[in-house]
Amino acid sequence: MFGLNKKDGSLLLLVVALVVFAPFLLNPFPESSGWAQFNAGYPDLMQRFVIFGIFAIGFNILFGLTGYLSFGHAAFLGVGSYAAMWMFKLFGMNVLPALALSVVTSGIFAILIGYVSLRRSGIYFSILTLAFAMMSYSLAYSVLATDMDGPDKQGLLQKGLTGGETGLQLTQSDPRIFGAQTTADGNIPVPSLFGLEMRSATELNVGDWVFTFSAGYYFSAVIMLLAFYLSIRIFRSPFGMVLRSIKSNQQRLNYTGMNPRPYMLAAFVISGMYAGLAGGLMAAMDPLAGPERMFWTASGEVVLMTILGGVGTLIGPVLGAGAIKYMENIISKINSDILHSWFAFLPDGLEDIVVTMIYPFIGKGWHLTLGIIFMLVVIFLPGGLVQGGQKLAAMVRRKKTDDTKTATTEPAE
Amino acid sequence: MGILEVKDVNKRFGGLQALGDVNLSVAENTVHAIIGPNGAGKSTLLNCLVGKLIPDTGSVMFDGQSVLGRTPFEINQMGISRVFQTPEIFGDLTVMENMLIPCFARRDGSFALHGIRSVTSEAELRDQAEQMLEDVNMLDKRNMHSASMSRGDKRRLEMAMCLVQNPKLLLLDEPTAGMARADTNNTIDLLKEIKETRDITIAIIEHDMHVVFSLAERITVLAQGTPLVEDSPENIKGHPKVKEAYLGEAA
């Protein structure tokens, strides 16, 4: 199917099904139940799942296949966001040209950064990419945020190219030469796909459940599925095999007549373009781009996502992105009142002790929880969540064969 | 004119003269052995041929072109394949995948964007790779993870990876080091068969005299970075200078 073998084909179908039915799958708890806060089926979070999924899929093409750990991938995310914002400001609110510009701009950035960084390998490569990303951050934060046109002009560059600390925002005075400067009711127009607004959504009420279908989510989801499909094809192509051989033995590759450097650069640029696409989508879902998107913690986050899900696996990065974004948004919402209501059944003194012990791990302390889970995964499941899934599946299978064995042998005894 | 012409090559590492005025000519379609005691400069010479080291002076011509200043992958593309002293293979890849990489390198050159075409659709190259694996008796291991194989198998795989490229010159750096006697004999048979069935020149560095005298048509003896004698195997066997180099003057 689509040039994939049976296993990859069914994986793709599974991901398609999960993505299409995500509004249901992520909303398992009725609105009025106490568990409703664990529902993740709202558009904002689902969009983040798929957008960071794209980011991590791209990162995995570099890190998973070649083993080169880039610590500055957030730079491409930021570049993608700024590029999309400028497309919205100058030309119009259609998301497709904005995404195209995001991908192209981040690709050009990746060629420059990759060309220099790939002269070194190992830790030096990581440090070089980190340095470039932090330089991009400070460019966006201050250098490119100075007033570049006079006060008497229309003010397009009044806050520079990047808008500095407050970020790049849309205004009613943006030219938008192929679109309307303002909507009929005097507001700033929102990103759309040929008129279909990204923030538009329909709700479906079934009993106590509310399912939200958002245009933005489904648009991002389609892009994510295309990106996922492309990554499977890259993994299974001769190009992907050469990338894996770079990770395995670069010396042998050299003496086998292949030049590793352009392969590395191609992988770096592809992965940078994935990041740019994710950045552009972020701007398309919420038209605002700030420099913090390029900060080193954002680069670290995608490393965590990939390792948590499973480095070098096809589906791992998507799972990792989902797991981290879920924790960031759900665990951080739990507060001490909610904890008290959970443990209300305990005697008063004990309740306070339990709540005090758990409290550091929730709310703003969700990073602690993430850290512990990350440590556990790295120590016990070096292959990430994917390895966990495989182990579970193997256990179930073994149990099944054991059952059938006993079932067939017992009558004989 | 041989296919490989080494002229007046000098290489110095600090105070050590690793190679001094080495002249060597390897004739086309012969098996040329380079022997010598430890530290004679055999490996240094080999590294100068494949672009890993650049000689201080002198020239190395292969097939009428200089190899000096070229990178290892460029030299491989000229038609020189090298087997290492310790097997260098792609440990994370399967045996079949290991074989396909050199096939791609030969067909597509040092860099090619293969688009999103699938590896499984490369029927022609897979056939070549399988044929080569069959020649080295490894077809049954094609789906094995190559890192988990025995050292002898890794060596055979590395040899197969070099041979599937159909090189004009095959450089072997102690191909039977650390092998069991049976494996050594298999390797000798394999190399003999290759020599008979293909147009290939083989330069071999070897300590095992059994291997050297079963294969070589020409032998160069290297000692302290300079070629001592170059002759046919029969003449080398009894040569007084060779005995002296290996056993010291007292002998």
Report the alpha-carbon distance of residue B202 to residue B46 in Å, rounded: 12
**CA-to-CA separations, B43 to A227, A340, B77, in angstroms, rounded:** 48, 73, 21
Distance from CA of B80 to the nearest CA of A (A): 9
Out of A234, A239, A256, name the one closest to residue B105 (CB): A256
* Residue recorded with tokens 């080569």: B132
Which amino acid makes up residue B29?
Answer: N
Question: Once rounded to an integer, what is the mean pLDDT over residues A369-381?
Answer: 92
pLDDT for the residue numbered A184: 84
C-alpha distance from B238 to closest chain A C-alpha (Å): 37
Domain that includes residue A86, residue range: 6-315
Residue type (1 letter), A341: S
Structure token pair of residue A277: 């696409």
Average pLDDT rounded to a whole number, residues B41-54: 91
Residue B199: CATH number of its domain: 3.40.50.300
Q: What is the pLDDT of residues B71-128, one digit of tens each?
A: 999 999 999 999 998 899 999 999 999 999 999 999 999 998 877 788 888 899 999 9
**pLDDT tier for residue A412 given thresholds of 50, 70 and 90:** very low
* Longest Cα separation, chain A: 97
Residue B160 CA to residue B138 CA, distance in Å, equals 9
Please, what is the average pLDDT of chain B? 89
Per the domain annotation, does A208 fall within a domain?
Answer: yes
Distance from CA of A145 to the nearest CA of B (A): 39
Residues of B in Cβ contact (< 8 Å) with A240 = 119
Helix or strand run (H / E) with residue A203: strand A201-206
Please give the pLDDT value at position A152. 54
Chain B residue numbers touching A245 (CB-CB < 8 A): 90, 92-93, 97, 101
Range among A96-110, B135-149, B182-196, B217-231 with highest mean pLDDT value:
A96-110
CA B191, CA B163: separation in Å to the nearest integer?
Answer: 10
User: Which of helix, strand or coil describes residue A5?
Assistant: coil
**Residues 147-186, chain B, touching A (beta carbon < 8 A):** 161, 165
Residue B136's domain comprises: 4-247
d(CA A292, CA A299): 11
Q: How far apart are CA A15 and CA A11, in angstroms?
A: 6
Integer Cα distance of A191 and A215 in angstroms: 11
**Closest Cα of chain B to A266: distance in Å?**
8
User: Stretch A65-93: mean pLDDT, rounded?
Assistant: 94
Per-residue pLDDT, A159 = 77
Domain count, chain B: 1
pLDDT at position B60 is 94
The predicted structure's pLDDT at residue B106: 92
Which residue in the set A240, A244, A256 is minimally distant from B161, CB to CB? A256
A246-260, B70-84, B221-235: segment of lowest average pLDDT:
B221-235
Q: What strands lie across the sheet with B65-66, from one edge to the other?
A: B16-26, B4-13, B57-62, B65-66
Whether the per-residue pLDDT at A312 is higher than 60: the answer is yes
| Integer Cα distance of A405 and A323 in angstroms | 37
Taking the C-alpha atoms of residue A342 and residue A338, their distance in angstroms, rounded to an integer, is 6
Are the CB atoms for B75 and B170 separated by under 8 Å? Answer: no
- CB interface of B with A, residues 207-246, below 8 Å: none
Q: Note whether residue A201 is domain-resident.
A: yes
Structure token digits, residue A294: 């390029």
Q: Which one of A5, A257, A263 has the shortest CB-CB distance to B77?
A: A257
Does pLDDT of A226 surpass 80?
Answer: yes
> What is the structure's pLDDT at A408?
52
**Ranked by mean pLDDT, which of A244-253, A395-404, B170-179 comes out on top?**
A244-253
Alpha carbons A327 and A311: distance in angstroms, whole number:
20
Res A151: pLDDT: 60
CB A370 within 8 A of CB A327: yes
Spacing of C-alpha B199 from chain mean position: 15
CA nearest B77: which of B44, B113, B50, B115? B50
Mutate to test the interface with A, among B92, B118, B124, B155 (most CBs of A within 10 A): B118
DSSP secondary structure code for residue A330 in this structure: H
pLDDT class of B152 with cuts at 50, 70, 90 = confident
Per-residue pLDDT, averaged over A180-190, amounts to 85
pLDDT band per the 50, 70, 90 thresholds, residue B247: low
C-alpha to C-alpha distances, A18 to A15, A233, A319, nearest whole angstrom: 5, 20, 11
Q: Any chain A CB within 8 A of the CB of B72? A: yes
Q: Does pLDDT of B251 surpass 50?
A: no
DSSP-derived 3-state class of residue A299? helix
pLDDT of A410 over the 50 cut:
no
Span of A76-85, A93-102, A312-321, B109-118 with lowest mean pLDDT: B109-118
Strands B80-83 and B169-173, how do they pair?
Answer: parallel
Note the residue count of chain B.
Answer: 251
* Residue B53 in contact with partner chain A when CB distance is under 8 A: no
Q: Which residues of B fall within a CB distance of 8 Å from A257?
A: 73, 76-77, 102, 105-106, 109-110, 165
- Report chain A residues whose CB lies below 8 A from the CB of B90: 244-245, 248-249, 252-253
CATH code (residue A203): 1.10.3470
B76, B77, B82, B101, best to mutate vs chain A, most A CBs in 10 Å: B101
- ipTM of this model? 0.91
Q: How many CB atoms lie within 10 A of CB A28?
A: 14
pLDDT tens sequence across B4-14: 999 999 999 98
Closest approach of chain A CAs to the CA of B69, in angstroms?
Answer: 15
Q: Are A95 and A192 in contact (CB under 8 A)?
A: yes
Q: Report the number of secondary-structure helices (H) and strands (E) in chain A.
A: 16, 6
| Continuous segment of H or E residues that includes residue A214 | strand A209-214
Q: Do A241 and B101 touch (CB under 8 A)?
A: yes
Cα end-to-end span (Å), chain B: 36
Window from A57-66, A69-78, A178-187 with minimum mean pLDDT: A178-187
Residue A399 belongs to a domain: no
Grade residue A405 by pLDDT with cuts at 50, 70 and 90.
low
Judging contacts by C-beta atoms under 8 Å, the chain A residues touching residue B91 are 248-249
Residue A232 lies in a domain: yes
Q: E strands, B109-168, where?
A: none
**Contact criterion met (CB below 8 Å) for A262 and B111:** yes
Residue A246: list chain B partners with CB under 8 A.
none
A253 belongs to a structural domain:
yes
Tell me which amino acid residue A99 is: L
d(CA B160, CA B157): 5
Measured CA to CA in angstroms, residue A128 lies from A136, A260, B161 at distances of 12, 19, 35
Q: How many CB atoms lie within 10 A of CB B24?
A: 20
Domain count of the fold of chain A: 1
Residues with Cβ within 8 Å of B124's Cβ and at least 6 positions away in sequence, in order, are: none
Radius of gyration in angstroms for the set of CA atoms belonging to chain A, rounded to a whole number: 24
A234 to B116: CB separation less than 8 angstroms, yes or no: yes
Mutate to test the interface with B, among A5, A239, A247, A255 (most CBs of B within 10 A): A255
- The model's pLDDT over B156-173, given as tens digits with 9 standing for 90+, comes to 899 999 999 999 999 999
Strands (E), chain B: 4-13, 16-26, 31-35, 57-62, 65-66, 80-83, 169-173, 201-205, 218-223, 226-231
Q: What is the largest CA-CA distance in chain B?
A: 67
Task: Tell me the CA end-to-end span of chain A in Å, nearest whole number.
Answer: 47
Dump pLDDT digits (tens) for A133-160. Answer: 999 999 999 888 877 766 655 667 777 8
Q: Which residues in A lie closer than 8 A to residue B53 (C-beta atoms)?
A: none
